[in-house]
């Protein structure tokens, strides 16, 4: 639901970089979004396209790299990764002693620009 504010933050970050580097415009932006971040990629794309008009990213394409929820189990010692948004027990051994190692990402990673 807060994809609009996320899209706004992305635009602020890349616009700042665009000003700093003196680039003419931005053609694409890559972001990394974890499955457990509560962000829906489709909603983010929609929000981004809806608000990009008055920014240096007005022609930019947003590319979303989704990151699976992953963890490390202390019971069986193995690393795992799941399709869903959360982990209730280790999918390999059923153990409850695990730590989540990925899935909450929300980062801008890079952008392509015209100089």
Partner 1 sequence: MTGTVVEKITKEDGRVKVKVVTKILEANDRIALENRRLFDKARVFVVNLMSAPGAGKTSVLEKTLAQGTGLRIGVIEGDIAGSDDAERVEKFGIPVVQINTGGACHLDANMIYEVIGDLPLAELDLLFIENVGNLVCPAEFKVGEDMKVMLLSVTEGHDKPLKYPLMFQESSALILNKMDLVPYTDVDISKIRKDALSLNPNLKIFEVSCRTGAGIAEWTAWLGEQAGKG
Helix H or strand E encompassing 93 = none
User: Residue 93 or residue 108: which is nearer to Zn ion going by CB?
Assistant: 93
Is residue 75 at the binding interface for Zn ion, with CB under 5 A as the rule? Answer: yes
Q: How far apart are CA 75 and CA 98, in angstroms?
A: 7
| Nearer of residues 73 and 111 to partner 1, judged by Cβ | 111
Task: Assess 14 for contact with partner 1 (CB under 8 A).
Answer: yes
Give yes or no for residue 92 binding Zn ion (CB under 5 A). Answer: yes
Does 100 bind Zn ion (CB under 5 A)? Our answer is no
Strand positions, DSSP E, 15-97:
25-34, 61-67, 69-73, 79-82
Residue 32 in 3-state DSSP?
strand
The residues in 38-97 that bind partner 1, with binding defined as CB under 8 A, are 38, 85-86, 88-89, 96
**Contact of residue 66 among Zn ion, partner 1, none (CB under 5-8 Å per partner type):** none
């Amino acid at each position: 639901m807060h994809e609009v504010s996320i899209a706004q933050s992305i635009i602020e970050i890349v616009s700042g970089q665009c000003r700093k580097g003196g680039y003419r415009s931005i053609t694409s932006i890559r972001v990394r979004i974890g499955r457990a971040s509560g962000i829906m990629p489709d909603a983010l794309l929609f929000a981004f396209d809806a608000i990009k008009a008055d920014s240096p990213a007005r022609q930019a394409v947003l590319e979303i790299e989704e990151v699976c929820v992953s963890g490390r189990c202390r019971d069986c010692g193995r690393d795992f990764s799941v399709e869903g948004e959360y982990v209730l027990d280790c999918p390999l051994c059923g153990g409850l002693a695990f730590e989540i190692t990925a899935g909450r990402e929300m980062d801008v990673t890079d952008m392509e620009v015209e100089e």
